[in-house]
Chains A and B, each alone.
Chain A
């Protein structure tokens, strides 16, 4: 894989949920290069989450080829997931969840540490660094269930950063964050993009996006209906125009 090769490459991909009679994603062809920042928009149920989980191999691809970070997603999903950060949509933990913030962030490296091996010094250092990046170092020893929704979201983002991903898939990461957190995470994202990480973000909050070139992908009914570059300030406009769906009218 040369540096100019796309880090995510989907070709004519179909994805079906188990038991569904027709595929949810149909004929998706989509490539993302290193250091690209992609905003995925589209109405509820358009298939945005499905697209992210197809990229990291958590959903079965029924047709087509998908290569991410140089690994075949269908055959080698675990290897892909060790290199790809994925922040799940809407997550909340039970107050009694018996894990501290530190433990949760360390978990982000469990896949790459591999079976049987124990976490080592460098793993703990990566955890510290990720906590520091998100400004939640002071929460390290707190049980995750007793944090606010926004704090939990930052912890999960730190968990994904802890494994030094080459690709970050973020499913509505701003839904619980206050204005200041959004701003600081946006700064962080633009630094990550500048360092060559590809970021694919599903979001409905377009008012403050990182200050970098943005590619907008709009989905409708399991297909990509628009894919173009634009300025961060125009993203909302572009998605609104692309959508004939009522919720964007």
Chain B
């Protein structure tokens, strides 16, 4: 899609993939951090990772396995977490542990079988060997994330504000909440092969955390987070390919650096005596 700017095909695909993945993750990341379901996002990401590892081991479609695992967790955890009264921490902790155990077991096993290279891709991401279809899928999930937020903006802001109050004003909290979880699960699963199971969480949380340092309004966060994420991810992809560095880890480091800088520059932490 960006061939007219970037001639090199590999670089072009890598940049496109990082762009779409980062925008989708950043938009959903704002929801995840603001609804305070970080632990659910975290667990879904690792379940998708485990699903992908199992899929790779059994030589079935990695993406489909990752989606299945992520969606399963969404619907296992959803009923526990959609009530404002129950804290699903323990259940999430268990699922997270099981996912990691499964993922690491299969990746380690594949390494002993000599398939270590592709298994490493699952851990740290791989932007070099991408199919065109994968990029179209990423573009699609990016659009889905944007549409979700635009169409359900009222309901999502209500849930972010407070789930009980949202329910009390007549918002259909449950279906919206599940739609959110479902799109998050899909996105995580599709971004997994590019970003890697160990790092995807950086994409989900850091852009929103950076935006939070500067934005007082939710609408601003939904704009700033994807723009920041896209800028960092594209720079990371270009720099990584130029200097032959691993793209996803390099970008994750960039994210962290920008986040630390943002914390220091944040106006929210300044005490001022200015009148306004």
Question: Which residue numbers of A lie inside 8 Å of B, CB to CB?
Answer: 18, 56, 58, 78-79, 81-82, 86, 88, 91, 96-100, 103-104, 107-113, 115-116, 118-119, 143, 156, 159-160, 163
Question: Which of B85, B170, B215, B218: most chain A CB closer than 10 A?
Answer: B170
Pairwise interchain contact B171-A111, C-beta atoms closer than 8 A = yes
- State whether the Cβ of B157 lies closer than 8 Å to any Cβ in chain A: yes
B164 x A107 contact (CB < 8 A)? no
Q: Across the interface, do A113 and B154 meet the contact criterion of CB distance under 8 Å?
A: yes
Interface size on B, residues (CB 8 A): 28
Is B218's CB under 8 angstroms from A107's CB? no
Query: Are A58's CB and B170's CB within 8 A?
Result: no
Indicate whether B1 reaches chain A with its CB closer than 8 angstroms. Answer: no
Closest B-chain residue to A56, C-beta based? B168
Say if the beta carbon of B245 comes within 8 Å of chain A. no
> B168 touches which one: A18, A58, A112 (CB < 8 A)?
A58
Cβ of A107 and Cβ of B216 under 8 Å apart? no
Mask of B165-206 contacts with A, CB within 8 angstroms, 1/0: 111111110000000000000000000000000000000000
**A115 and B218 in contact, given A96-B268, A107-B158, A110-B155 (Cβ under 8 angstroms):** no
Asked whether B221 is an interface residue with its Cβ less than 8 Å from the other chain, the reply is yes
Contact of B171 among A56, A110, A119, A159 (CB under 8 A): A110
Q: List the A side residues contacting B164 at CB < 8 Å.
A: 58, 88
A contact residues around B132 at 8 Å (CB): none
Tell me if B151 counts as interface (CB < 8 A to partner A).
yes
Q: How far is the CA of A124 from the CA of B29 in the complex (A)?
A: 29
**CA of A18 to CA of B85, assembled, Å:** 10
Known: A18-B83, A115-B155. A81 touches B170 (CB 8 A): yes
Evaluate contact between B161 and A104: CB separation under 8 angstroms.
yes
Interchain Cβ contacts under 8 Å between A and B, 7 examples: A58-B164, A88-B168, A98-B160, A98-B221, A107-B166, A110-B171, A119-B154
Shortest Cβ gap from A49 to chain B (Å): 11
Task: Decide if B217 is an interface residue (CB 8 Å cutoff).
Answer: yes
